[in-house]
Structure 1
Amino acid sequence: MTNAAHPVDRGLPAGRLLLLGLQHMAIMYTGCIAVPLVIGSALHLDNASIALLVNADLFVAGLATLVQSVGIGKVFGVRLPVVAGATFTVVNPMILIAAQYGLTAVYGAMIASGVFGLLIARPFAALIRFFPPLVSGTLLLVIGISLLGPGTAMIGGHDTGDPSYGAPANLGLAFGVIALVVLFTRVLRGFLGQIGPLVALIAGVLIAIPLGRTHFSAVGDASWFGLASPFHFGAPTFPVAAVVSMCVVMLVSFTETTADLIAVGEITGRPVTPADLSRGLATDGLSAIFGGFMNSFPDTAFAQNVGLVQMTGVRSRWVVATTGAMLVVMGLVPKIGAFIAAIPEPVVGGVAVVMFAMVGVVGVQTLKKVDFSGNHNAFIVSVALGVGLLPAFGLDRFGNSVFFQHFPAWLRTICGSPITVAAVLAFVLNLLFNHLGRRREEDLLP
C-alpha cells in the first residue's frame, strides 16, 4: 500500500482551490502592484506606461509563483506554497539607475543580475547550514515587524504630513476588518475558517461601498486584453555600475527568500534542503531575467503569504499554483486587475497587518528552538534585531527610510533594508560566536 501524499502535494476540489487561491492573491496584490506604481510615479511616466508596468508585473509574478509551486525539473521551483511578487528592494536602485542611465539600463542590469542569480543560487543555497533557527528566526521576526510599516501606510495613508492622514474613516474600516478576521477565525470551522481572512476582506469591501470608498470607474476604462511587447522601452543596455547595483539587490532578495522558504518548510512540515533552496533561489534569478525582457521587476517570496499559510493551516502548493494562474490572467486582462485594485487600501491593510504580524510570530516560534543558556545567542538576537530595525523607524513623511541617506547609493541598497541589515548581522554574529569563537575556546582548554 502506498503512503498518502504529503499535505503539500495534495490537491483540493476546484471550488476550494479557487477561493483559497483568491485569498492568497487578495493578500499580496496591493504589495505587488505598489512597486510599479511607486517607480512609475518617481520616473514621471504617463498613465499608460504605468499601467503597462502593472500588467507586466502581475504577469511575471504569476509565472514565478507557478514555477515556485509546481517546479520545472531539477532546476527551478521549491515546490512549496510560495507566492512570488515584486520586491521593494529594487525601488531605490531602479529609480537611481533610471535617472542616470535610463530605463534601458534598468532592464539590462536586471537581466544581468538574473544571470548572476542563476550562477550563485547553488553556492548560496549551500550556506543553509549557517541559517539555523537562531538566524532564520531572528530574520523572520525582523521581516514581520518591518512590514508593519507598509501595513500602517495602507491604513493611515502614505504621507504623514497630509491633513487626511489617519482619517477616522480609514482607521474604522481597517479595525473593523481586523475585528471580522478575529471573529471569523474564532467562530468559523473547517473550510470557512480557512477562508476567514478572505470573507473579512469581502465584508470590508461591502461596507466600504455605501461609504463611498470604492471607485470602480477605472474598471470600465480598462481594456480586456493587454500585454506590452518585450523591451517596450528599448533595447537593454548594461552600464557596469547599474549591473553591480542590481546584483547587490539580487543578493538582498536571496537573503529574504531564504528566510521565507525556511519558514514555509517549517510551517508545512517539509523542511527545505539545500537542493530545494537552490531551486527556489534560481527562480528568483529567472524572474529577474524574464522581468527584464517583459518590462517588469525581480520577484521574491512574499512574507505576508507565509503568514497566511501559518494562519489558515492550508499547506497545499496547488493553492498558490492557482494564485499564480490568476495573476497571469490578471496580467493579460487589465479589466480584472482594475477591479481588484478598486479594493480600498484600509481594507487590504486590515488583513495585511495580521498576516505581517504572523510572520513575526513564526520567527518567535522558530527562536523557541534556540538554546539561550550559557551562550551569546540572546546577544546575537538583540544586536541583529536592534540595529536591523533602525532603517524601519528612520522614515521621512512618505514612509521612505532615510536613516542611511548620506551613505553612497550602492551602500544604501544594502543598509536601507532592515531585512538585509538583520540578516547580515545575525549571519556574521552567529559565525563569530558559535563557529569561529567556539573553536578558539576549545583551543584554550587544557
Structure 2
Amino acid sequence: MTDDDPPRTGTTDDAIEYGIDDRPPAGESVVLGIQHYLTMVGANIAVPLILAGAMGMTDNPEVTARFIGTFFVVSGIATLAQTTFGNRYPIVQGAPFSMLAPALAIVGVVTAGGVSGQPGWEAALLQLQGAIIVAAIVEVAMGYFGLVGKLRRFLSPVVIAPTIALIGLSLFSAPQITTADQSWPLLGLTLGLILLFSQYLDVKHKAFRLYPVILALVIAWIVAAVLSVTGVIGGGHPGYVDLGQVADAQLLLPIYPFQWGTPQVTTAFVVGMFAGVLASIVESIGDYYAVANISGSGAPSEKRINHGIGMEGLMNVFAGIMGTGGSTSYSENIGAIGLTGVASRYVVQVGAVVMLLVGFVGYFGQLIATIPGPIVGGLFIAMFGQIVAVGISTLKHVDLESSRNTFIVGFALFVGLAIPAYMGNFEQVQEFRAVMEGVAVLGPVLSERLIADTIYVIGSTGMAVGGLAALVLDNTIPGTREERGIAEWDRIAEDDAEFETFLERQTSASRSD
C-alpha cells in the first residue's frame, strides 16, 4: 500500500490476501485474473446474446460469435483504462444491464420499421452505436467537469447501504437461478463447491482460499460435460454442454473500430439511451463504495468518483465505436474479492489483458458459451449474496436505533425491488408509454418519449430506484450527522488529495527522481 492510496478502515484487512497495490507472482496473477473475469462471464455473454436475438443476428452464427468477442475486447480495454487512468479501483468493466432496456427499445423500433438496403440487425446496431456514443459524451462531461462527484456530499451510509444491497439483489430472479426447468443438482454442486473451498477448506491450503470460484466452475463444468458426452443428459437439459459448437468455431475473429459501418444518430434514441447512462452512473457509484468497503479502503473521494465516471463515459464512447452495447463497472468481481480476499489492481489488469487477447479467438467465446446456466446460477448466488452483505455491513456506521434510519433503509430496499418488478410487466418501453398516457391530468406529460423512457429505464434498475429514494429521504428527513453516520464516514473517507491520477503519479515520480 502506498501513501497515495486511501486509508484502510481496519474492518476487512484480516480477510484481504492481496491489497489494491499488491502484485502477486505473474503465474498466480494470471489465474486470479481469469477467476475475476469468470465471475462476470455469464452477464457479459448474456447482454450480447439478448441483443443479437432481438436484432435477428443469431441467424448468422459467425457474426454472433464476432459480436460476443467484441464485448470481451471492449471489456478488457475498458478495465485496463479504468484501473490505470480512471478511479484505479480493482473493478472489472463489462456490458451494462442498465443500458439494455433502452438498447432493446431502439432495436425494436428500427427492426419493426426496417431500413432499405440494410439487414435488420445491421441497421439496428448502427442506430444503437450512435445513441451510445452521443449519450456517453454527456457522461464524460458529467464526470470530468465534476458534476457527479458533487453528489458525494449528499451520500451517507444510510443511502449507500441499500444501494449496494440492491446491486446484490438485482439478480435474485435471474433465469439462471429461477428458471422452471432448473438443474438444481448442478447448481447445488457449483454453489456447494464454492462454499466448501472458500469457507471450510480455506485454512487448509492457499489454493482453496484464492481460487474457490475457478475451482468450483471447472469441476462443475467437467461433471456436466461428462454427463453430456455419455448421454446421461440430453440436448434439452439445462446442464447440457455442447462441445460440438466449440469445434465448429472460427479460429480468429476480425474485430476493429466501425466494423459494422458508420454509426447513425437519432435524437429520440439518444435521449432514451441517456436514461440508461444515468442508471449506470448510480449503479457505478454504488460499486465504488462497495469495492472500497470490501477491500478495506476509505470511502471514495469526490475526485476519484469524477475520474471513474469520466472514464466510464470515455469507454462507452469506445464501446459505441467498436459496436457493442456499452460498458460499465461490474459488481460480480466485487463479490469475488469478498470470497477470495484478492483485491489487487494488478491481478484485475492481468485478467483484462487475457480477456482482451482471447476476445479475438472464436474458440474462446464458444467454449465460454457452453457453461450451463445452472453453473452460472450457482456463481450468481455466491457472488451477489456477498455484495448484499457488504451493503448491510455499511450500516455499522449509523445509529440503527433511530426509527428515521430504519424507515429509510427499509423503504429504499422495498421500492428498489417492487418498482423494477412492476416495470417487468412491460416487455417494451412503448407499452409503458401507452400506460402513461392514461394517467389523469399528467398523462400528456408523462407519455412524452423523453420523460416516459427515462422513468422506464431508471424504474427498471433496482439500485437506481432504491438509491434515489434513500438519497431524497435521507437529505429531507431531519437527522444529525452522528445519527446518519456521516461523522464516522468522514473520519474514514479519503480526501481528494489522497487520490492521485495516473498523470499526477507520473509527475510525482519524475520529481522524486
- TM bucket, shorter chain: 0.7 to 0.9
Q: Alpha-carbon deviation of 1:338?
A: 1.6
The residue that corresponds to 2:20 in the other structure is 8
- Deviation, 1:392, is 4.6
Alpha-carbon RMSD: 2.7
| Equivalent residue in structure 2 for 1:204, among 205, 220, 223 | 220
Q: 1:33-82, CA deviations, whole angstroms, 9 ceiling, x for partnerless residues?
A: 1111001101212333322221111111111111222x12xxxx211210
Offset of residue 316 of structure 1: 0.8
CA separation of 1:419/1:227 partners in 2, compared to 1, >3 Å: closer, same or farther?
A: farther
Provide the rounded CA distance (Å) in 2 between the counterparts of 1:361 and 1:139: 12
Partner in structure 2 of residue 64 of structure 1: 78
Q: Match for residue 289 of structure 1?
A: 317
User: For each residue in 1:207-232, what CA deviation from the matched residue of structure 2 results, as whole angstroms up to 9, or x when unmatched?
Assistant: 11221122222222222211334333
Q: What's the counterpart of residue 55 of structure 1?
A: 69
Give the percent of matched residue pairs that are identical in Structure 1 and Structure 2.
30
Aligned match for 2:472, one of 428, 435, 441: 428
TM-score relative to the length of structure 2? 0.77
The yes-or-no answer on 1:307 pairing with 2:329 is no
For 2:328, what is the secondary structure of its paired residue?
Answer: strand
**Cα–Cα, structure 1 residues 431 and 396, in superposed 2: closer, same or farther, change >3 Å?**
closer
Give the superposition deviation at 1:3.
7.5
1:379 and 2:392 aligned: no
Map of 1:115 onto structure 2:
137
**Aligned AA for 2:107?**
A
Residues 360 and 103 (structure 1 numbering): CA distance in 2 closer, same or farther, change over 3 Å?
Answer: same
Equivalences for residues 380-395 of structure 1 within 5 A: 380-394=408-422
Matched, 1:352 2:368: no
1:99/1:394 CA distance change after superposition, 3 Å: closer
Compared CA separation, residues 331 and 434, structure 1 to 2 (3 A): farther
Partners of 1:385 and 1:422 within 8 A in 2: yes
- Distance in 2 (CA, whole Å) between partners of 1:336 and 1:192 is 25
Q: How many residues align?
A: 421
Aligned to 1:144: 168
Larger-gyration structure (1/2): 2
Q: Kindly indicate whether the alpha-carbon contact (under 8 Å) linking 2:337 and 2:343 is maintained by their aligned counterparts in 1.
A: yes
Deviation at 1:90, TM superposition (A): 1.8
Aligned to 1:444: none
Q: Does 1:412 align with 2:439?
A: no
1:263-278 pair list within 5 angstroms: 263-271=290-298, 272-278=300-306
Q: Which amino acid aligns with 1:63?
A: I
In 1, the alpha carbon distance for the partners of 2:251 and 2:152 equals 44
1:403–1:416 CA contact under 8 A, matched in 2: no
C-alpha displacement of 1:337: 2.1
Deviations 1:3-22 (A, max 9, x none): 89992111110121011111
| Letter paired with 1:283 | M
Tell me, which stretches of 5 or more residues in structure 2 are unaligned? 6-17, 111-123, 229-239, 437-451, 483-513
Q: Which amino acid aligns with 1:373?
A: E
Partner of 2:367: 339
Task: Specify the code of the residue in structure 2 equivalent to 1:22.
Answer: I
CA deviation digits over 1:114-154, x for unaligned, max 9? 1111100121022112222111111011111122222xx11
Do 1:56 and 1:227's aligned partners in 2 also have CA atoms closer than 8 Å?
no
Query: How high is the TM-score relative to the length of structure 1?
Result: 0.88
- What is aligned with 1:174? 187
Taking the TM superposition and a 5 Å limit, the aligned residue runs for 1:38-117 are: 38-45=50-57, 46=59, 47-69=61-83, 71-72=84-85, 77-101=86-110, 102-117=124-139
1:441 corresponding residue in structure 2: none
Structure 1 gaps of 5+ residues are: 439-446
